[in-house]
Amino acid sequence: MKILVTRLLPPETQARLEQQDVELIQWQHDQAMPRDTLLSWVQGVDGLLCLLTDRIDNEVLDAAGPQLKVVATMSVGYDHLDIPSLKARNIQIGYTPDVLTDATADLTVLLTLAAARRMKEGIQAAETGEWREWRPTWLCGSQFTGKTLGVVGLGRIGEAVAKRMKAFGIHRVVYSGRSRKIEAETALGGADHVPLNELLQVSDYVAVCCALTDETKDLFDYSAFSKMKPSAVFVNTARGGIVKQDDLVRALEEHKIAGVGLDVTTPEPLPTDHALYRFPNCVILPHIASATMETRERMASMSLDNTLAALANQPVPYGV
Ligand code: DGY
């Protein structure tokens, strides 16, 4: 059996990978594999362990050939995989749910606090000498106590974000999404399923925690930002494609919202001259929500389990 792994994995899983009785082809770098290398190296493999930076579409699947049994992505998001084509070809699909919930929820809260408490401006003021004395209203932001959190997509991560923010004093949680999540509502001690428009109007903090799909692409456009409170903070740790970025720039220019925290953008990396970096109230991180060593090691390990199971003609343990 031959497997292609498109990146060096975290150390424990890398060691386990190297012990496997398979023919291993691996991009031994900590940068994404170039597309033409992927198309060439994937030929004839039985398993493909990839990352969210690899677009796996019909071109890759044609190049791989009909023996390909599994595509296992080291991510919970799978918008980079052409799911209908994989299913049509009976190729098993593995992903890494649950293990990154805590790390991602932690970072969502961090970004919300950073934007709400004007952390970027504070750091800049301290570092540039603009910090001269304590002033009663200088760099005042907003606090969670008694406020409303709007979660767009109350899945595993959305629920974990709401749980954390309730501990910080959030009074009401509202959420939008296709269906009501009764179990999550109970676990949170109450949360209201509302239409997106209502969520935008009533929320002090809006956290995007949904998957990128045809339905959620560009969901946050100028009209959506215009419906939010001018004091509201918007945070996206899901996928950049859920936000129309030019519209976000316009909304910030027009002070439609008070602060923004982004861990995901379009494209990634976001070019250093992008307009979004100009706003002191927009905190941008380089897609690191799941970046704890524990989580990344677990994600890699699950991806390897998925790959090996499929090669042994077993169902993948963590399948899409
Ligand atoms: C995922 O796994 O989809 C995350 O975006 C990575 O942090």
The strand pair at 259-262 and 282-284 is best described as: parallel
Helix (H, G, I), strand (E, B) or coil at 157: helix
Ligand 1 neighbour 119 (Cβ under 6 A): no
Rounded to whole angstroms, the Cα distance separating 86 from 71 reads: 8
Residue 143: inside a domain: yes
- The Å distance, Cα 143 to ligand 1 centre, comes to 28
Ligand 1 neighbour 74 (Cβ under 6 A): no
Ligand 1 neighbour 290 (Cβ under 6 A): yes
**CB 36, CB 59: distance < 8 Å:** no
Ligand 1 neighbour 52 (Cβ under 6 A): yes
pLDDT tier for residue 84 given thresholds of 50, 70 and 90: very high
Residue 59: the pLDDT is 98
pLDDT tier for residue 286 given thresholds of 50, 70 and 90: very high
CATH number of the domain encompassing residue 81 = 3.40.50.720
Mean pLDDT over 45-73 rounds to 98
Residue 316: inside a domain: no
**CB 32, CB 80: distance < 8 Å:** no
pLDDT tier for residue 33 given thresholds of 50, 70 and 90: very high
Residues 148, 271 within the same domain: yes
Mean pLDDT over 16-23 rounds to 98
pLDDT tier for residue 76 given thresholds of 50, 70 and 90: very high
Residue 194: inside a domain: yes
Structural domain span for residue 153: 101-284
Residue 55: the pLDDT is 98
> What are the CA-CA distances from residue 301 to residues 9, 131, 157 (Å)?
9, 46, 20
Instruction: Give residue 244's identity as a one-letter amino acid code.
Output: K
* Mean residue pLDDT across the chain: 98
Instruction: Give residue 99's identity as a one-letter amino acid code.
Output: V
Mean pLDDT over 238-261 rounds to 98
Give how many domains the chain has, as a whole number: 2
Token couple for 158: 């959305």
Residue 176: the pLDDT is 98
Ligand 1 neighbour 289 (Cβ under 6 A): yes
Residues 108, 254 within the same domain: yes
Token couple for 86: 């994989």
Residues 212, 299 within the same domain: no
Residue 112: inside a domain: yes
User: Of 100, 157, 236, which is best to mutate to test ligand 1, by the most ligand atoms within 8 angstroms of its C-beta?
Assistant: 100
Residue 158: inside a domain: yes
pLDDT tier for residue 178 given thresholds of 50, 70 and 90: very high
Residues 57, 173 within the same domain: no
Residue 319: inside a domain: no
Residues 82, 49 within the same domain: yes
- Helical H runs in the chain? 11-18, 35-41, 58-64, 83-88, 101-116, 119-128, 156-167, 182-187, 196-202, 222-227, 245-253, 293-311
Sort residue 98 into left (φ over 0), alpha (ψ -120 to 50) or beta: left
> What are the CA-CA distances from residue 260 to residues 110, 169, 254 (Å)?
12, 20, 14
Mean pLDDT over 249-273 rounds to 98
Nearest protein Cα to ligand 1, atom 4: 75
Residue 140: the pLDDT is 98
Residues 230, 298 within the same domain: no
- The Å distance, Cα 241 to ligand 1 centre, comes to 14
Residues 160, 221 within the same domain: yes
Starting from the edge strand earliest in sequence, which strands make up the sheet with 233-236, in order? 192-193, 172-176, 148-152, 205-208, 233-236, 259-262, 282-284
Closest to 70 (Cα-Cα) out of 52, 85, 48? 48
Residue 22: inside a domain: yes
Give percent of the chain above pLDDT 70. Answer: 100
The closest-lying atom of ligand 1 relative to the alpha carbon of residue 78 is: 3
Ligand 1 neighbour 148 (Cβ under 6 A): no
pLDDT tier for residue 132 given thresholds of 50, 70 and 90: very high
Residues 125, 256 within the same domain: yes
Residue 272: the pLDDT is 98
* Residues paired with 236 in a beta bridge: 208, 262
Ligand 1 neighbour 77 (Cβ under 6 A): yes
Residue 264: inside a domain: yes
Residues 106, 84 within the same domain: no
pLDDT digits (tens, 9 = 90+) for 88-128: 999 999 999 999 999 999 999 999 999 999 999 999 999 99
Residues 162, 76 within the same domain: no
287 given a catalytic annotation: yes
pLDDT digits (tens, 9 = 90+) for 202-236: 999 999 999 999 999 999 999 999 999 999 999 99
- The Å distance, Cα 290 to ligand 1 centre, comes to 6
- The Å distance, Cα 288 to ligand 1 centre, comes to 8
- ipTM of the modeled complex: 0.97
Residues 276, 299 within the same domain: no
Residue 185: the pLDDT is 98
**CB 257, CB 234: distance < 8 Å:** yes
Mean pLDDT over 77-91 rounds to 98
- The Å distance, Cα 296 to ligand 1 centre, comes to 10
Token couple for 209: 């925690």
Residues 238, 125 within the same domain: yes
